[in-house]
Amino acid sequence: MEKMMLSYLVHFIHAFIPVSLMTGMLLALWTPVRGPKTVRPVLVSLAAGLLVGAVAYPVSVRMETLTAARTFLFGAAILAALGNAAALFVSDNRSGALSLVKWGGALFVTAALAAVTSFTFLVHVAEQALSAVTVLNTELILNIGGVLAGFTLIALLIPLTAHLGMKNGGRILSGILLLASLLLCVQWSADVLLGLMRLELIELTSIRLSFVAKVTKYLYILPYLQALLIAALALGFFVRRPAVAAAELAQMQKAERRKARSLVIREMRWFKAALACVGVIFAVCLYFDLYASRPVKISPPTMLTPDAAGLIKIGVDRVKDGKLHRYAIVTDDGHVVRFFLINRSMGLGSKIGVVYDACMLCGDMGYIQEKNEVICIACNVRIFLPSIGKAGGCNPIPLEHKIEADQVLLSVEELDKGAKYFTEVVSRKVKDPVTGKELENTKAPFRHEYKGRTYFFESEESGEKFQKSPESYVGEQQSRYYRVQGFQGS
């Protein structure tokens, strides 16, 4: 659940950092020109854009025009951002018609960016619901907490960026604004290109698809780059911060000295707040990218070796604690066959479930345990513990076994039948069944499959001999099971 909360926080940051960064810089750029009258129109444009995006999403979903709406919004945002960036380098007298056009362009890019932001975030919310149920629960509270935490951070960034930007020179601010606009345009252009190809308005080509794939692959870097732009504003602010020499302070009256010190302390607080915000963004995003978003993996299995009779023996006392105990053996041809044992009586006895660590529907990604549930990693289906050992659905595939003298007995022959349920193959020594020469399975030049088992050959000639009469070399063998056959047990 904590990871889910973090997911909402990270996606909120991904969606809203651009609008807060751009809005703050536009405020910094236009406040010296228009004075206090700048704030209200910018905030109105911001609110209007957020509302447009919030309305556009459910309407497009209902009308089944989500791709078209997304493509249009992102296309409009690209035109607005590029137009506003170009206007930065057009000089004017700050009072004529050109200045009004540039001011209108700044408001339009704010609204367009806000619309894209709210639309994008709602798409994520739809794909990953706030809660699986409609009643108030811990999951819902944590997810809303993630959104509120993100909202608080973004709300702080707008005035912070505006204050930092006003203390930087116009050229530095315009340069950073241009760079931020270009970064967003690259992201949006991939979305627009993909949308146009889906709508069949342009031809799908390998070059276009490659561009979309590469941009999408590295999209997670964007929040880090935007945080670095905030850091660059903070650095410029620090260089230009007000500083008063000790000699000057000594010559001032007490009231003036207090004012000067207060100004220096206040400005340093702005600088520290900027660094803190950048640090929070980096910490949250790095934690999510490097740890929280990584796919779930199974615990390493304990490798077992059969005894002389070809049996695997596991004491019931070792596996009756209610935890998932994962084991594996390696077959003659190198397949790693995983299985696990678990007490499925939920503390009411010792009913040991013995199953392959594979699903008949989803394959061999395996299972993990969470409290009293076993979860199929591939599809996230939660399996009730007492049903372990029963075939069907996403339940793990049952494994034939016996329990004698407080020991679970499994035959290697039975485990070998399930080798085709698994895809992992490790290196081991094998023999050419025709010539008897010892080979390494992963490096053998020729191989052939017979009844689900893989045989390895030193030459093409020996492989051809085997194919003509495999029973002559390996005898009569029962075929291994395949998932497409369904459960084959008794």
Task: Please report whether residue 296 resides in a domain.
Answer: no
Quick one: 289 exposed, middle or buried, by C-beta within 10 A (0-12, 13-18, 19+)? middle
Number of domains into which the chain is organized: 3
Radius of gyration of the chain from its Cα atoms, rounded to whole angstroms: 32
Q: Specify whether 389 is located in the same domain as 324.
A: yes
Task: Please report whether residue 363 resides in a domain.
Answer: yes
Q: Specify whether 417 is located in the same domain as 433.
A: no
Q: Specify whether 175 is located in the same domain as 104.
A: yes
List, in sequence order, every beta strand (DSSP E) within 121-248. Answer: none
Q: Within a 10 A sphere around the Cβ of 192, how many other Cβ atoms?
A: 22
* Token pair for 447: 């191989």
How far apart are alpha carbons 457 and 464 in whole angstroms?
A: 9
Choose one of 245, 266, 291: the last residue of a domain: 291
Per-residue pLDDT, 1: 47
Q: Could you report the per-residue pLDDT of 244-291, keeping only the tens digit for each?
A: 666 666 677 777 777 877 877 888 899 999 999 999 999 989 988 888
What CATH number is attached to the domain comprising 334? Answer: 2.102.10.10
Q: Specify whether 97 is located in the same domain as 222.
A: yes
Provide the b/e sequence for 461-470 (b: ≥16 CB within 10 Å): ebbebbeeeb
Choose one of 421, 451, 467: the last residue of a domain: 421
Q: Specify whether 309 is located in the same domain as 271.
A: no
Q: Within a 10 A sphere around the Cβ of 347, how many other Cβ atoms?
A: 10
Q: Specify whether 42 is located in the same domain as 171.
A: yes
Nearest alpha carbon to residue 196 among 61, 71, 74, 56: 71
Choose one of 232, 267, 291: the last residue of a domain: 291
Q: Specify whether 285 is located in the same domain as 308.
A: no
76 SS3 class: helix
Q: Specify whether 87 is located in the same domain as 220.
A: yes
Cβ-contact 112, 76 below 8 angstroms: yes
Cβ-contact 286, 159 below 8 angstroms: no
Q: Specify whether 284 is located in the same domain as 170.
A: yes
Task: Please report whether residue 150 resides in a domain.
Answer: yes
Which residue type, as a one-letter code, is found at position 151? F
Task: Please report whether residue 275 resides in a domain.
Answer: yes
Q: Could you report the per-residue pLDDT of 410-464, keeping only the tens digit for each?
A: 999 889 888 889 988 999 899 898 888 988 888 889 988 888 888 999 999 888 8
Nearest alpha carbon to residue 58 among 126, 135, 131: 126
Cβ-contact 322, 347 below 8 angstroms: yes
Task: Please report whether residue 4 resides in a domain.
Answer: yes
Q: Specify whether 29 is located in the same domain as 127.
A: yes
Mean pLDDT of 475-480: 82
Q: Could you report the per-residue pLDDT of 383-408, keeping only the tens digit for each?
A: 888 888 888 888 899 998 888 888 89
Quick one: 355 exposed, middle or buried, by C-beta within 10 A (0-12, 13-18, 19+)? buried
Task: Please report whether residue 399 resides in a domain.
Answer: yes
Q: Could you report the per-residue pLDDT of 273-282, keeping only the tens digit for each?
A: 999 999 999 9
Structural domain of 90? 1-291
Cβ-contact 319, 352 below 8 angstroms: yes
Quick one: 234 exposed, middle or buried, by C-beta within 10 A (0-12, 13-18, 19+)? buried
Task: Please report whether residue 142 resides in a domain.
Answer: yes
Q: Which residues contact 403 (CB under 8 A, 6 or more apart)?
A: 316, 352, 409
Q: Could you report the per-residue pLDDT of 196-237, keeping only the tens digit for each?
A: 999 999 998 999 999 999 999 999 899 999 999 999 999 998
Q: Is the pTM of this model over 0.95?
A: no
Q: Could you report the per-residue pLDDT of 450-471, keeping only the tens digit for each?
A: 888 889 999 998 888 888 888 8
Q: Specify whether 223 is located in the same domain as 88.
A: yes
Q: Specify whether 306 is located in the same domain as 234.
A: no
